[in-house]
């Protein structure tokens, strides 16, 4: 059995309440009425209607104030203004306060039915959109679970089997066999990197970064990453230097996600650098942010590629490089920085090097 929708009529004219009630009851709606704003707001909380007809001019609490409280109480309620003092200004003001539609008195039964019908269509669209939003969120959550358990875990296990075979634990491996296993292992690691990047993007969509922000030191994050990657840099003959801090290095951020940002940028500075090149990192307090720049002496990025490098899956073809990677690293970095209300920019010249600058808000800016 279809549930009947409820309409609350708030109007100080008894004749208007009675006539609207009669019309809408014939159409199958449940009706309740209130003769002023105070009584209307009380019935609103007790009765939870789907529609509210509100007169603008009433003693006590006026219609515009009732409108605001209706939307605060339940944004899904469809409020419709009815008034005998219809002007363009009053209609615009009512719409600003959250009215769905505006019906000047006197009106015919058919005009009332049309507006209620349109309001019902609007309500159904809102409910459908909310249902789709919940379904999308459920799909995203299920996707993360599926990727983690049904894809990532088996691939990690396969990688472990490769390590066992390559280590000679289960017997000698012929050179040709070892070559093929190493190629398969390399492809497997690339696939795992792509899956991990997908998971990062899915987690970032949950918007949890803002909840975990606190005052943290950018210098501590950068030093930690540089200490970790220094052996890799030394093997490539690349010098990494953190220059003295200019001013404060305190930002409002989530430490874990910002470590991911700077790890990506510093690793790229090594990966795309020249043999015996260098990387310099500066942290500088500016008027509106803390700016951290990673400058390398690498192969650089062609001018035509710069507008797209933060796009998902976009990979720049670089001379002398294998082009490994998911194409998601810079996209994830930008998404994290955006969620911090910061910015990330790049300056680069092919054959000279690149400079990535991340600006993050200071704690006192909140």
272 contact partners, CB below 8 Å, separation of at least 6: 296, 298, 299, 318, 321, 354
DSSP 246: B
Residue 69: what pLDDT?
Answer: 86
Residue 287: what pLDDT?
Answer: 87
| 22 and 100 assigned to the same domain | yes
Residue 202: what pLDDT?
Answer: 66
Residue 288: what pLDDT?
Answer: 86
Ranges of the chain whose pLDDT falls below 70: 1-2, 86, 140-141, 144-145, 147-148, 201-211, 312-327, 365-366
Q: What is the pLDDT of residues 68-84, one digit of tens each?
A: 888 888 888 899 988 87
Nearest in space to 127 (alpha carbons), one of 139, 115, 119: 119
| 321 and 277 assigned to the same domain | yes
Residue 322: what pLDDT?
Answer: 43
Of 107, 131, 160, the one marking the end of a domain is 107
Tell me, yes or no, whether 118 lies in a domain: no
Q: What is the CATH number of the domain that holds 45?
A: 3.40.50.2300
Radius of gyration of the chain (CA): 31
Nearest in space to 205 (alpha carbons), one of 99, 355, 22, 335: 335
Three-class SS of residue 142?
helix
| 189 and 219 assigned to the same domain | no
H-helix or E-strand spanning residue 343 = strand 343-349
| 191 and 222 assigned to the same domain | no
Cα 80 to Cα 122: distance, rounded to the nearest angstrom: 12
Residue 2: what pLDDT?
Answer: 57
| 248 and 301 assigned to the same domain | yes
Residue 210: what pLDDT?
Answer: 67
Q: Output the CA–CA distances (angstroms, integers) from residue 237 to 40, 42, 230, 278, in the order listed.
A: 77, 75, 10, 8
Q: Output the CA–CA distances (angstroms, integers) from residue 70 to 10, 205, 249, in the order listed.
A: 12, 31, 46
What is the residue range of 148's domain? 139-204
In the chain, how many domains are there?
3
Q: What is the pLDDT of residues 243-284, one digit of tens each?
A: 999 999 999 988 988 998 999 899 999 989 988 899 999 999
Cα 359 to Cα 366: distance, rounded to the nearest angstrom: 15
């Amino acid at each position: 059995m279809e549930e009947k929708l409820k309409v609350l009529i708030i109007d100080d004219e008894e004749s208007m309440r009675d006539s609207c009630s009669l019309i809408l009851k014939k159409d199958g709606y449940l009706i309740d009425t209130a003769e002023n704003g105070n009584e209307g707001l009380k019935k609103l909380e007790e009765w939870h209607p789907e529609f509210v007809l509100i007169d603008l001019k009433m003693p006590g609490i006026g219609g515009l104030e009732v409108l605001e409280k209706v939307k605060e109480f339940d944004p899904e309620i469809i409020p419709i203004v009815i008034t005998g003092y219809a002007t363009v200004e009053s209609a615009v003001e009512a719409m600003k306060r959250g009215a769905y539609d505006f019906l000047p008195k006197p009106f015919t039964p058919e005009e009332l039915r049309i507006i209620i019908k349109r309001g019902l269509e609007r309500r159904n669209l809102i409910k459908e959109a909310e249902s789709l939003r919940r379904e999308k969120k459920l799909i995203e959550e299920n996707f993360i679970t599926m990727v983690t358990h049904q894809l990532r875990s088996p691939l990690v296990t396969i990688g472990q089997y490769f390590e066992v075979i390559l280590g000679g634990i289960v017997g000698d491996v012929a050179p040709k066999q070892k070559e093929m296993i190493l190629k398969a292992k390399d492809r497997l690691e690339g696939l795992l990197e792509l899956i991990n990047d997908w998971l990062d993007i899915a987690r970032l969509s949950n918007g949890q970064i803002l909840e975990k922000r606190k005052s943290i030191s950018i210098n501590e994050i950068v030093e930690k990453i540089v200490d970790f990657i220094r052996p890799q840099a030394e093997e490539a003959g690349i010098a990494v230097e953190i220059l003295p801090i200019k001013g404060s290095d305190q930002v409002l951020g989530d430490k874990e996600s910002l470590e991911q940002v700077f790890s990506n940028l510093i690793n790229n500075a090594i990966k795309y650098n020249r043999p015996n090149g260098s990387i310099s990192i500066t942290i500088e307090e500016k008027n509106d942010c803390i700016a951290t720049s990673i400058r390398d002496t690498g192969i650089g990025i062609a001018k035509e590629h710069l507008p797209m490098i933060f796009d998902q899956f976009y990979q720049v073809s670089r001379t002398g490089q294998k082009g490994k990677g998911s194409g998601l690293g810079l996209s994830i970095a930008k998404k994290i920085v955006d969620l911090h209300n910061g910015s990330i920019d790049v300056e680069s010249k092919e054959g000279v090097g690149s400079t990535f600058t991340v600006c993050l808000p200071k704690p006192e800016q909140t």
